[in-house]
Structure 1
Amino acid sequence: MDIPELDALDFRIVNALQLHPRASWAELSGVLSSDASTLSRRWSRLTDSGAVWSSCFYMPLERRKRQPLAFVEVLCHPAGLDETVDALAVIPEVFSVHGTSGDRQVYVTVGAASLAEIDQCVRTRIATVPGVTTTRAHYVRRVFQEGGQWRLGVLTDAQTAAIAARRPQPATDLAAEPTPEEWSALEALADDVRRPLAQIRERTGGSLAAVSRRVTTLLGADWAHWRIDVAHRALGYECAVMLWLRAPQENLEQIATSFRLLPESRLIASVTGPANLAISLWLRDLADLDDLEQRVAKVYPQLSFTDVWVVPRVYKRAGHVLDANGMQARHVAFRESGGD
């Protein structure tokens, strides 16, 4: 798909829905200073073009920080790489697939219920994909920030507060696990968080009032993870990079927290191996990497770079398969995991 030009109103719409994915256009009209019909048309254009897409899935807040997760380097035969990537993208435990520089062709983010299940997935599913020659897993110790937490940050403080105030607050008496009916609602929202209530009812059954209550419950449930994603090239970013850093253990959390202040930071996690900190960032130009490395070295001279991967293409992100321009092409159901 061609990359559409996004303007200031498009950015505000996306940012608003990152804060409250089910806010009505009427609710957002006054906050964004645009009529509801215009907002609706803009959103349809963004999603129909593949520039913006959404997800909703089961993932408790605390488990997002401690979820067994791994970044797996995958070395492949260059011939037939597209077929190999397609096969990797449909593995349920594979959350994201990134093309990358260096001696690996892609790296994938894998999530499962335990480290043993990740290991089994790597050995029996990823390593056996035709074209894969070698795999190397880097296990995540802690996630400081994941891609679903990234925000455009174009709204004023007043707009942000007004939209956040409209979102249902977390219920104090909510069960730790969704009911069967809530599971059905989650599945109906998996690839479109703004699916109309009538369409959700067609998939789940029940009255419109019951469906509305379930969706409201999901908005306030810490086990329901809502994401609004944007094609990075539609935002003016050329590529991504994955920094592999070695930091003193006593400074690790402080350094990770400071990287969260960078608007281009997507994923920040402590990992096992020679590097103990992995950071994924978007870059507007690859030349910006020089400035980034210099800034990091100046602020944190105790940090050392063990590797830098350039990511020229993302094949799959958060369960959505992307085209060559990073635009959403289709949704692939995945098992609970986290990452970028």
Structure 2
Amino acid sequence: MYSANSAMDDMDRALVHALQLAPRASWERLGPVLGARPDTLARRWERLTATGDAWISGLGLRTGRRPPCMAWVEIGCAAGRSPAVGRVLAGDAHTLGVEHVTGGRDLLAFVAVPDLHALYRYLTQRVQRIPGVVTTRSSMVTSVHCAPDRWRLDQLTPAQVAQLTGRAGRPLQLSAAAPAGMTDEDRPLVLALASDARRSVASLAREFAMSESTVRRRLARLEAGHSLRYSCALAARLSGWPVSATVWAEVSEYEVADCAAVAAGIRETRTCMSVSGPWNFMISARLRTTEDLSRYTAELTRRLPGLRITDTAVALHTRKSEAQVLDQGGRRVRCVVPDIWSDPAPGTASPYADPDPEPGPLRPRAA
């Protein structure tokens, strides 16, 4: 489906960097920043997306004003079964990321569902019943300090970044602005952007029988309230940062905010989250080589004396990232629409029935 070697040049990488900063910007707006004609940029982007080398996805997970229930799930598999288990998980709407990793687990999955009961059902009635799954261990996400869409290439000059965004640097942390509620009517619109977040307002308006002004208004509200975010990605082997690594750590609860701010400021950091479980801090990073992991962890501990690193893992193969299924070269193959509100375990008991109910209290028998 894809050529063995994709022809990437500096203009392609500059285009991806620009779209990371302004994912839905028009070609006319991007042209002066990149010094290219709008039609030239459009053709380049069409080529990159057609080969799976680059893409822009939209992700909206908020249920009303509540954030979703998110968790990292470590999965141990029977010998030789992890590829099959990974393929199954990659096809699930509720599993947004799947990596085959080193260390004490075979797979690391990122899961999002509306609430705790849905997570219970997904783990017990779906994940743990996949043939080949032997063990699972879950860590709830209690706070997202730095989201993956904040990671950028470094192709543009500071002047170009400022011209495009009005600021000289990249945002490092999530804004504290009040979240906008996502209504039932918003969800189809958000899911339609999962595979191509650059879809035109006109095409969305036609599909959902809305006026273009209504579509613009809804998108603006969801974007401003962080209920809808966009992520522009480049295939890992073409990005210059092909290695994905995860770091688990312990930090005092009183120092979490400071640690998150410092970790987010390190170039390689992609995400930074507080989690439940034996360790309370989790960081993922993009590295140029596997040898850079030790340098990165040394830099973390140097800058953060109160942080104790407890475990690390390197991704051997990223099978899925932010709802996009990837090949071994990191190119996008397809999108699994992230409908996290759907039944997490179809074909099993109803969402409100306990498949293994506890016995009720004993009652005296009638005489």
TM range (shorter): 0.7 to 0.9
CA 1:297–1:18: 2 relative to 1, 3 Å: closer
2:40 matched residue in structure 1: 38
Aligned to 2:145: 144
1:202 deviates by: 4.4
Which amino acid letter does the alignment assign opposite residue 54 of structure 1?
Answer: I
Task: Give the structure-2-normalised TM-score.
Answer: 0.80
Partner SS for 1:120: helix
Q: Which residue of 1 aligns with 2:198?
A: 194
User: CA offsets, 1:204-263, max 9 Å, x none?
Assistant: 234556556655555555322222122222112232111111223322221121111122
Is 2:293 aligned against 1:292? no
1:129 CA displacement: 0.9
State which drifts further: 186-195 or 52-61: 52-61
Pairing 1:147-162 to 2, within 5 Å after superposition: 147-162=148-163
- AA aligned to 2:18 is A
Match of 2:346 in 1: none
Is the counterpart of residue 17 in structure 1 residue 22 in structure 2?
Answer: no
Any idea what the Cα deviations from partners look like across 1:286-335, whole Å, max 9, x if unmatched?
Answer: 11122223323333343322111111211111111101111100000123
Cα offset, 1:142, TM superposition: 1.2
Distance (whole Å) between structure 2 residues aligned to residue 53 and residue 252 of structure 1: 33
1:169 alignment counterpart:
none
Instruction: Name the larger-Rg structure.
Output: 2
SS at match of 2:129: coil
Where does the alignment leave 5 or more consecutive residues of structure 2 unmatched? 167-176, 342-367
Partner Cα distance (1:193, 1:301) in 2: 40
> 2: distance between equivalents of 1:113 and 1:61?
7
Partner of 2:108: 107
8 A Cα contact 2:271 2:284, kept in partner = yes
Residues 197/251 of structure 1: CA separation in 2 closer, same or farther (3 Å cut): closer
Give CA-to-partner distance per residue, 1:84-115, whole Å, 9 cap, x none. Answer: 21211122221111110123211101112223
Match of 1:317 among 301, 321, 334: 321
Aligned to 2:276: 272
Taking a change above 3 Å as real, the CA distance of residues 250 and 176 of structure 1, as seen in their structure-2 partners, is closer
Does 1:177 find its partner at 2:154? no
- Shift of the 210–112 alpha-carbon distance from structure 1 to 2, 3 Å rule, reads closer
Cα deviation, 1:150-193, whole Å, max 9, x if unaligned, reads 2224334443343336xxxxxx9x9733472x444323322101
What letter corresponds to residue 145 of structure 1 in structure 2? C
Map of 2:356 onto structure 1: none
Q: Name the SS for the 1:4 alignment partner.
A: coil
In structure 2, relative to structure 1, the CA distance for the partners of 1:22 and 1:178 (3 Å cut) is: farther
> Contact 1:60/1:225 (CA < 8 Å) preserved in 2?
no
Q: What is the RMSD of the two structures over their aligned residues, measured on CA atoms?
A: 2.9
Higher relative contact order (CA 8 A, sep 6+): 1
Q: Aligned in 2, Cα 1:222/1:144: closer, same or farther, shift over 3 Å? A: closer
Aligned to 2:119: 118
The 3-state SS of whatever aligns with 2:311 is: strand
Query: How many residue pairs were aligned?
Result: 330
Take 1:224 and 1:262, find their aligned partners in 2: how far apart are those partners? 25
- Residues 268 and 42 of structure 1: is their aligned pair in 2 closer, same or farther, counting only changes over 3 Å? same
Change (3 A) 1:69 1:208: closer
Point out the more displaced range, 26-35 or 191-200. Answer: 191-200
Of residues 52, 59, 62, the one that matches 2:61 is: 59
Distance 1:97 1:300, change over 3 A: same
SS at match of 1:241: strand
Contact 2:180/2:227, CA 8 A, preserved across alignment? no
CA pair 295-263 structure 1, distance change in 2 beyond 3 A:
closer
State the secondary structure of the residue aligned to 1:312. strand
Residue 134 of structure 1 aligns with which residue? Answer: 135
Gaps of 5+ in 1: 166-171
1:80 and 1:161, CA in 2 relative to 1: closer, same or farther beyond 3 A?
same
Contact between 2:94 and 2:339, CA under 8 Å: does it hold in 1? Answer: yes
Q: Quick check: 242-251 or 155-164, which moved more?
A: 155-164
- Residue 146 of structure 2 aligns with an amino acid whose one-letter code is Q
Contact 1:59-1:225 at 8 Å conserved across structures: no
Distance change >3 Å, CA 61–CA 298, structure 1 → 2: farther
Normalised by the size of structure 1, how large is the TM-score?
0.86
Structure 2 contact 76–134 (Cα < 8 Å) conserved: yes
Separation in 1, partners of 2:338, 2:63: 18
Match of 2:345 in 1: none
CA distance in 2, matches of 1:11, 1:52: 10
Task: Name 1:335's counterpart in structure 2.
Answer: 339
More deviation, 278-287/195-204: 195-204
Q: Tell me which amino acid in the other structure corresponds to 2:273.
A: A
The CA distance in 2 between the partners of 1:210 and 1:116, in whole Å, is 34
Alpha carbons of structure 1 residues 104 and 200: separation in structure 2 relative to 1, 3 Å: same
Q: Does residue 1:304 correspond to 2:305, yes or no?
A: no
Q: Percent identity?
A: 30
CA distance in 1, matches of 2:73, 2:184: 34
